Chain A
Amino acid sequence: MTAATAAAGAVQLLGCVAVAPLLPGTVQHLKARLQGRPGPSPLQPYRELRRLWRKSGVAPQPRTVIYELAPATVAGTLLIAALLVPIGGHAPDWGIGHDALVLVGLLALGRFAIALAAWDTGGAFGLIGAARDLTFAVPVEAVLLLVVVVLALPSGSTDLLALSALATTAEAWSEPAHWAAALAFGIVVLAELGRQPVDNPDTHLELTMVHEGPLLEYAGRDLAYLQWAVAARHWILLVLATELFVPRPEPFLAQVATLAGALPTWCVVLAVVETTQAKMRVLRVPVLIGTGAAICLLALISWHVRGGA
């Protein structure tokens, strides 16, 4: 293992556990500033996690062990998923490979666990949110796979390390297919992170919630896991966006510096999108995500028209 690989492993773990809460915190802070409010500090998620960790959990009736396992499952799948994502084109071999489709499978496992927890307590709000979340996942997974197909065109591999290595040079952007994949991936990120216009992370109005719905029945450490999971999902997808799409110089330190610069940039982009876009009607969301599928198919066509360069 080289020093770069070991450092990448350290960033994977430390970033996912410790830096991740900073991302939604920064987005909330920037959003408030854009809207002319002072807003919470970017460090607010850490304070909430600390507060929740000290509080006791709740015990809704009826429940089974599924309710108790779900927060740990969601957090655990995301922690494992974070280990699949390379940092600066490097990643240590944790023994679980670095396959893009495995990452998609792990995200699905987390969704499944929280949906079962919603069924377990039988609360209507949790089930509204879970039903919407799993329904949106249908077009999201289809588009995500199409993005993988388009990105795999030059290298012929679904290995995240190989895909990340290809994106380092600016040459990748000379292909229209790469642009299209970036656009489609952006749509997927919005949906998967529960950001506007797909979902409103600020709302606690029960009837409009998607991701927040199943969290209502939780408190204490369970809720801390689930809130950390939201932050970890931000980390995974934004790091992935950097690794797959941002051209950067070859040396490892420069790559990490690019990552450190890109993450705040993505936060600014998310804050601007959230400020300018209203939340969509629930039924319009699949149309938005479906647009991503159409974009990917166009990308594939353009690749073949250009002779599969």
Chain B
Amino acid sequence: MSAWTVVCLAGTAALACGSALAPIGGRWRAALAIQATGIAALGVVGGAALFGAAPVGAQFRSGLSPALGIDRLSGFFVLMLAVTAVPAALHAREAMRDTPHAAAIASLGGAFCLALVGLVAARDATTFLAFWELMTLLPATIILVARHDERARRDVLAYLAITHLGGIGVWVTMLVLADHGALGGDPLQSDGLRALVVVAALLGFGTKAGVMPLHSWLPRAHPLAPAHVSALMSGVMVKLALYGLIRVLLEWAAPMPRWVGPALLGVGALSAVGGVLYALFQRELKRLLAFSSIENVGIVVLGLGAALTFESIGEPRWSAIAFAAALLHMLNHAVLKALLFLCAGSFAGAVGGLELDRLGGPLRRMPWTGGTFAIGAAGLAGLAPLSGFASEWMTLQALVHLSVHGPSGVALAAAAATAALAATAALAVLCFAKVIGLVLLGSPRRSECARARETAVSMRAPLVVLAGICVVLGLVPGLLVPTLAQLGPGEVQLARRPGLDLPGSGGLPALALAVGLVVVIGGLWRAGAARRAEPTPAWACGQRVVPALAWTSAGFTKPLRLMTQALLRPRRQVTVRSDGGVIQEVAHDAEVPHLFDSLIYEPVTAGALRGAAVVRRLQSGSLRAYLVYLLGLLLLALALVRLGLLA
């Protein structure tokens, strides 16, 4: 037994103990610390596996006996989990002090982490599917423990229903692969079977990853959970669905048919643009962040689609680069989204609700939480020199080169995807400028915001660590990228240097760029910091600046709403109450309805309910009817036997 195996087992044991001990004797904070230690140990093992230590545990096998192990790709995902879950657990120790059922939530949260680790460590179909189901069910349980209102219960039901229907695809994929010995063994022989596996995997894993149009559960379920669980759901859980997809598409069912890459490009572009568009029009911070997760999953899927397409046109080097871009973006998004969800938890604790139009001002009142939130939001907006820019730049480079090198059909698809990703990046800038503006800047829009107090050091420290990781990943992405590229299909070697230096590009020396920006901006700032006049209110045409003049989320997104109204069909109602020609009151009510719900999900649900109503008539409860059914079935069976259709 190697040393890494021992560390791995110890980490798992600590995580399990931390989870089991949490409900006992009110010591859940200590239990969370034990959990964090365990996850950190597992993360060390994952990092070692990623950077070239020998794989721990078993290899993939198609048999039914359970097997666990960590290879390089799994190591990457375990590392990603650790980077996200350790700060989340430490943050939760403070954030959940006044939460009812904190002990139960802490315990279930540990079990959730265990399920996530188990999924990436599963080495056979049975274990994989068991942990897959646990990964779906545990967050639902946590939400139901934390929230008791009817809306939460309905949304959890929608979450379970959609992910379980989609989960059928995962079951079909895994069982077919295991049945044909394709898990770590022989490649699939028949093309028909491969197509079946691919379609099932796209539906199954795609649902859980929140790829549009299978995403409807995600913006419902993610905002409901406590902050640290939301961080894990958005940061890690959806990525593990992509992990499954990567295993199937690039390993177990490879080589892929030619249509898969362009199909992923289409789905990825839809998710990226659609996710950020709907994120822009949300009024609640956590729901906005959930939609932004859909956007980022879309960007990752674009990278994967480019990787597969490059592979099918015989460009292994670019295929590896695109694959590395996808993995890097996953890691970036896990860190950034965890950071933003944890900050949202801190804000919720400090000021109550998270309605975007009723916040404002915490950057002055809560400089640490506010500052880290600003870094995270700028990173998610894909701004240089933070981490989001590096991975989006790589993905864009891959798409640009796909449109340059690909045959005509592929080139057009890739060019459209390039434009979509560029538009997504610009929309994300709009979205997160709005978020930072409404959440952090301006005057407080509620009395609670004006009284907000900075949180305890132990709650700020995890945020600072996550923001630091975001900055470092942005400065030296090139140190990680060659390792990630080796995980891809082609086993391509890239040069390891701090910046990104792709063939056929001008290069992204991120560190030099960041240093240049800091030096130039700092120098200009110092030179420009002359005397200022006495403080005065901002200019509002000479009016007194009153809170009613404050800009809202709807106001800032109005140009975009008008630009996209043919597509998004926003609803707007203005009621004017006038008395004797004098306007007394103007009521304004507007929303951007989620068209996927009203055009796809609601008709399907209504159809299913109607179908169920028809079928229910069969179950009349009358004994005579059941006897007739039996007789009919018997006659049918006899007839089939007589015709020779039934042996």
Q: Are B531 and A96 in contact (CB under 8 A)?
A: no
**Which residues of A (87-110) have their CB < 8 Å from a CB of B?**
94-102, 104-106, 108-109
Q: Are B528 and A225 in contact (CB under 8 A)?
A: yes
Q: A300 to B411, alpha carbons, bound, how many Å? A: 8
CB distance from B408 to the nearest CB of A (A): 4
In the complex, what residues of B have CB within 8 A of residue A157's CB? 504-506
| B404 adjacent to chain A (CB < 8 Å) | yes
Q: A118 to B441, alpha carbons, bound, how many Å? A: 10
**Which residues of B (532-558) have their CB < 8 Å from a CB of A?**
532-541, 545, 549-551, 555-558
| A301 adjacent to chain B (CB < 8 Å) | yes
Q: Are A80 and B517 in contact (CB under 8 A)?
A: yes
**CB contact under 8 A between A142 and B364, given known A62-B443, A123-B538, A221-B528:** no
Main secondary structure of the interface of B (DSSP, over half): helix
Pick from A84, A132, A140: contact of B559, CB below 8 A.
A132
Q: A105 to B396, alpha carbons, bound, how many Å? A: 11
In the complex, what residues of B have CB within 8 A of residue A300's CB? 403, 411-412, 415
Max chain B C-beta neighbours (<10 A), residue from A80, A108, A148:
A108
> Hey, what's the 0/1 contact readout for A149-160 against B, CB within 8 Å counting as 1?
100110011111
**CB contact under 8 A between A216 and B389, given known A62-B361, A102-B508:** no
**Which residues of A (136-152) have their CB < 8 Å from a CB of B?**
137-146, 148-149, 152
Q: Are A161 and B506 in contact (CB under 8 A)?
A: yes
Q: A29 to B531, alpha carbons, bound, how many Å? A: 33
Q: A127 to B530, alpha carbons, bound, how many Å? A: 25
Q: Are A138 and B560 in contact (CB under 8 A)?
A: yes
Q: Are A159 and B537 in contact (CB under 8 A)?
A: no
| B614 adjacent to chain A (CB < 8 Å) | no
Q: Are A72 and B525 in contact (CB under 8 A)?
A: yes
Chain B residue nearest to A58 in the complex (CB):
B533
In the complex, what residues of B have CB within 8 A of residue A104's CB? 422
Q: A25 to B398, alpha carbons, bound, how many Å? A: 40
**Which residues of A (4-23) have their CB < 8 Å from a CB of B?**
none
**Which residues of A (271-309) have their CB < 8 Å from a CB of B?**
282-283, 286, 293, 296-297, 300-301, 304
Max chain A C-beta neighbours (<10 A), residue from B438, B506, B517:
B506
**CB contact under 8 A between A146 and B419, given known A61-B535, A122-B441:** yes
CB distance from B552 to the nearest CB of A (A): 10
In the complex, what residues of A have CB within 8 A of residue B550's CB? 122
Q: Are B384 and A105 in contact (CB under 8 A)?
A: yes
Pick from A60, A69, A152, A222: contact of B521, CB below 8 A.
A69
In the complex, what residues of B have CB within 8 A of residue A59's CB? 532-536
In the complex, what residues of B have CB within 8 A of residue A73's CB? 521
In the complex, what residues of B have CB within 8 A of residue A301's CB? 408, 412
Q: A126 to B540, alpha carbons, bound, how many Å? A: 10
Q: Are B423 and A142 in contact (CB under 8 A)?
A: yes
Question: Of B92-100, B321-329, B428-436, which binds chain A?
Answer: B428-436
Chain A residue nearest to B511 in the complex (CB):
A95
In the complex, what residues of B have CB within 8 A of residue A61's CB? 535-538
| A49 adjacent to chain B (CB < 8 Å) | no
Q: A263 to B550, alpha carbons, bound, how many Å? A: 43
| B117 adjacent to chain A (CB < 8 Å) | no
In the complex, what residues of B have CB within 8 A of residue A120's CB? 437, 441-442
Q: Are B412 and A297 in contact (CB under 8 A)?
A: yes
| B466 adjacent to chain A (CB < 8 Å) | no
Task: Tell me the count of chain A residues lying within 8 A, CB to CB, of chain B.
Answer: 92
**CB contact under 8 A between A124 and B551, given known A137-B430, A145-B418, A300-B411:** yes
Chain B residue nearest to A99 in the complex (CB):
B506
CB distance from A51 to the nearest CB of B (A): 13
| A76 adjacent to chain B (CB < 8 Å) | yes
In the complex, what residues of B have CB within 8 A of residue A96's CB? 509, 512-513, 516
| A41 adjacent to chain B (CB < 8 Å) | no
Chain A residue nearest to B556 in the complex (CB):
A131
Q: Are B441 and A116 in contact (CB under 8 A)?
A: yes
Q: Are B419 and A135 in contact (CB under 8 A)?
A: no
Max chain B C-beta neighbours (<10 A), residue from A119, A138, A219:
A138
Pick from A72, A149, A225: contact of B415, CB below 8 A.
A149
Q: A59 to B555, alpha carbons, bound, how many Å? A: 25
Q: Are B525 and A149 in contact (CB under 8 A)?
A: no
Q: A79 to B524, alpha carbons, bound, how many Å? A: 11
**CB contact under 8 A between A145 and B509, given known A122-B442, A124-B540:** no
Pick from A83, A108, A141, A148: contact of B383, CB below 8 A.
A108
Q: A58 to B525, alpha carbons, bound, how many Å? A: 15
**CB contact under 8 A between A297 and B539, given known A101-B393, A135-B563, A225-B524:** no
| B427 adjacent to chain A (CB < 8 Å) | yes
Q: A111 to B361, alpha carbons, bound, how many Å? A: 22
Q: Are B524 and A127 in contact (CB under 8 A)?
A: no
Pick from A101, A123, A130: contact of B539, CB below 8 A.
A123
| A68 adjacent to chain B (CB < 8 Å) | yes
Q: Are A159 and B506 in contact (CB under 8 A)?
A: yes
Q: Are A111 and B423 in contact (CB under 8 A)?
A: no
| A57 adjacent to chain B (CB < 8 Å) | yes
Q: Are B419 and A145 in contact (CB under 8 A)?
A: yes
Q: A102 to B505, alpha carbons, bound, how many Å? A: 10
Q: A64 to B513, alpha carbons, bound, how many Å? A: 26
| B401 adjacent to chain A (CB < 8 Å) | yes
Q: What are 15 residue pairs bridging A and B, where the CB atoms are less than 8 Å apart in the complex?
A: A62-B364, A76-B520, A98-B506, A102-B393, A120-B441, A120-B442, A138-B430, A141-B426, A145-B418, A149-B415, A157-B504, A286-B563, A296-B419, A300-B412, A300-B415
The 8 closest A-B pairs by CB, nearest first: A119-B437, A99-B506, A76-B521, A97-B507, A304-B408, A123-B538, A145-B422, A72-B524
Chain A interfacial positions (CB closer than 8 Å to B): 56-62, 64, 66, 68-69, 71-73, 75-77, 79-80, 83-84, 94-102, 104-106, 108-109, 111-112, 115-116, 118-127, 130-132, 134-135, 137-146, 148-149, 152-153, 156-161, 206, 216-217, 219-222, 224-225, 282-283, 286, 293, 296-297, 300-301, 304
Chain B interfacial positions (CB closer than 8 Å to A): 361, 363-364, 378, 381-384, 389, 393, 396-397, 400-401, 403-405, 408, 411-412, 415-416, 418-423, 425-427, 429-430, 433-434, 436-438, 441-443, 499, 504-509, 512-513, 516-517, 520-522, 524-525, 527-541, 545, 549-551, 555-560, 562-563
A97-B509, A119-B437, A145-B422 known; 5 new pairs, CB 8 Å cut-off, are A58-B533, A60-B536, A101-B396, A130-B433, A134-B426
